[in-house]
């Protein structure tokens, strides 16, 4: 990959100028054009993986992850169908992609760009305040990797200068977690906090007074590292379940590390079979709540469901929703960033600007739907994309207005 680094950009706003800009929700700009890990759009006018996988060009029922090539086929299908259901006759020919990780979002962009052959541009952002504001540009892929979300305005000016129409021919794909909500480097720790709270609530409900939170935290922190990805597949369901099993004592932590280090333990499915054998051996009697969790995880694995620990994900949803929009209007920016999952203002302003120009806006997230939507939406429990929350960031509106 050929990278050229731009000079330090003095126009990027420093972190001290972060402001609160009122409240908004993703649905204001994306409606129900929101698709989570199961690849079943929330807008029911668009068919998902279960009923249209063959039309997407997918040859099996396995749900691809965001960085895989088959995911790009599904994403292209959703974009084309989105154009159809909003009754726009123009054929899509341009794509903007906005995310926070080079691995997941960056690779998804590259795969979709290659498959679609659309004129494409990508922004990967994070606030890295220990560095001077700058961006690395992969000129071959037209990928802009910035260390400030505030550089999104600069990116859009460069994109417009490349001759993009930015109109009904353009699809805009935006990641949710740590991009549109809980911007990485700025507010993402609240997303992580909500997930951990969901895990702890689940452990309390399954293990009760026997839950050893300190041991869980130590083991979770260690196993949530890249060196264990062959075992966990970088999947929070797998990791939470493994740490639950360790907390019961059915399999010892040192025992797991030994099996992993010597190559005897290869992947998560093997770990679940190991749990099966230990339970059948009857060496340790475990309660009914654990048995139900174990059977549900095993059943999900057998049908290729990448979100097998649904009990945990439902608790994660409740905790995440509770961290959105709950603070008063006069809360300080510091309090908002510390306690609430906020809407990234730069993403909000760009989405509104592109929406007015007629672009098709879609949220694509690798987050499980079970952690993002209630089982039954009510006035008390709305899907995350329909919850108003505070908008925090720096304004890029002047840079956008200069392009109008």
Band of pLDDT at residue 404, cut at 50, 70 and 90: confident
Closest alpha carbon to 83 in 172, 10, 12: 172
Would you say residue 41 has pLDDT above 60? yes
Average per-residue pLDDT in the chain?
Answer: 92
Alpha-carbon gap, residue 24 to 391, rounded angstroms: 7
Burial of 115 (0-12, 13-18, 19+ CB in 10 A): middle
DSSP 29-73: HHTT-EE-TT---SSTTS--HHHHHHHHT--SS----TTSHHHHH
Report how far apart, in Å, the C-alpha atoms of 90 and of each of 81, 86, 100, 170, 260 are.
12, 11, 30, 10, 53
Strand 119-125 versus strand 94-99 pairing type: parallel
| Residue range 148-189, pLDDT digits in tens | 999 999 999 999 999 999 999 999 999 999 999 999 999 999
The total number of residues shown for the chain amounts to 404
| Residue range 109-134, pLDDT digits in tens | 999 999 999 999 999 999 999 999 99
Band of pLDDT at residue 282, cut at 50, 70 and 90: low
Lowest-confidence segment of 37-46, 194-203, 330-339, 376-385 by average pLDDT = 376-385
pLDDT > 90 in the chain, percent: 88
DSSP 67-119: TSHHHHHHHHHHHHHHHHHTT--SPP-EEEEEES-IIIIIHHHHHHHHHH--E
Band of pLDDT at residue 14, cut at 50, 70 and 90: very low
CA torsion sign for 39, 45, 46, 49 is positive
Supply the pLDDT for residue 2.
Answer: 35
Band of pLDDT at residue 283, cut at 50, 70 and 90: low
| CA dihedral of residues 234, 240, 246, 250 (deg, nearest 10) | -110
Would you say residue 4 has pLDDT above 50? no
Burial of 35 (0-12, 13-18, 19+ CB in 10 A): buried
Alpha-carbon gap, residue 286 to 75, rounded angstroms: 43
Per-residue pLDDT, averaged over 296-321, amounts to 93
Strand 94-99 versus strand 170-174 pairing type: parallel
Supply the pLDDT for residue 12.
Answer: 42
Alpha-carbon gap, residue 134 to 142, rounded angstroms: 16
Is the separation of the CB atoms in 142 and 332 below 8 Å?
Answer: no
Model pTM? 0.90
Radius of gyration of the chain from Cα atoms? 22
Would you say residue 16 has pLDDT above 60? no
Supply the pLDDT for residue 284.
Answer: 63
Alpha-carbon gap, residue 13 to 148, rounded angstroms: 8
Angle (CA) 93-98-103 rounded to 5° is 110
| Residue range 213-232, pLDDT digits in tens | 999 999 999 999 989 999 99
Q: In what order do the strands lie in the sheet with 389-393?
A: 19-24, 389-393, 343-344
Residue with tokens 């609240």: 190
250 DSSP 8-state letter: S
């Amino acid at each position: 990959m050929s990278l050229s680094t731009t000079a330090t950009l003095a126009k990027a706003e420093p972190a001290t100028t972060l402001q609160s800009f009122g409240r908004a929700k993703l649905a204001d700009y994306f409606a129900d054009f929101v698709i989570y890990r199961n690849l079943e759009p929330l807008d029911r006018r668009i068919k998902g993986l279960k009923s249209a996988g063959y039309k997407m060009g997918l040859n099996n029922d396995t749900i691809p992850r965001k960085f895989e090539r088959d995911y790009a086929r599904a994403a292209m299908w959703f974009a084309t169908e989105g154009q159809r259901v909003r009754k726009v006759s123009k054929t899509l020919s341009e794509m903007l992609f906005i995310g926070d990780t080079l691995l997941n979002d960056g690779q998804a962009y590259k795969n979709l760009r290659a498959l679609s052959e659309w004129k494409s541009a990508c922004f990967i952002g994070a606030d890295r305040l220990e560095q001077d504001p700058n961006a690395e540009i992969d000129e071959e892929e037209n990928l802009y990797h910035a260390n400030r979300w505030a550089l999104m305005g600069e990116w859009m000016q460069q994109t417009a200068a490349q001759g993009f129409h930015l109109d009904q021919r353009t699809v805009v794909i935006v990641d949710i977690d740590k991009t549109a909500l809980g911007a990485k480097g700025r507010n993402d720790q609240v997303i992580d906090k909500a997930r951990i709270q969901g895990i702890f609530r689940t452990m309390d409900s399954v293990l009760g007074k026997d839950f050893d939170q300190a041991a869980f935290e130590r083991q979770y922190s260690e196993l949530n590292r890249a060196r264990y990805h062959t075992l966990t597949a970088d999947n929070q369901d797998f990791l939470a379940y493994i740490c639950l099993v360790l907390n019961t004592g059915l399999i010892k932590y040192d025992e797991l590390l030994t099996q992993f280090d010597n190559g005897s333990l290869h992947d998560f499915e093997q770990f679940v079979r190991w749990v099966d054998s230990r339970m059948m051996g009857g060496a340790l009697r475990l309660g009914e709540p654990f048995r139900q969790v174990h059977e549900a995880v095993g059943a999900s694995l057998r049908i290729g469901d990448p979100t097998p620990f649904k009990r945990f994900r439902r608790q994660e949803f409740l905790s995440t929703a509770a961290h959105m929009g709950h603070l008063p209007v006069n809360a300080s920016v510091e309090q908002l960033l510390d306690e609430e999952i906020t809407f990234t203002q730069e993403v909000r302003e760009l989405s509104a600007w592109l929406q007015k120009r007629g672009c098709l806006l879609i949220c694509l997230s690798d987050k499980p739907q079970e952690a993002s939507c209630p089982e039954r939406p009510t006035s008390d429990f709305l899907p995350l994309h329909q919850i108003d929350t505070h908008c925090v960031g720096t304004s890029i509106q002047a840079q956008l207005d200069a392009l109008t």
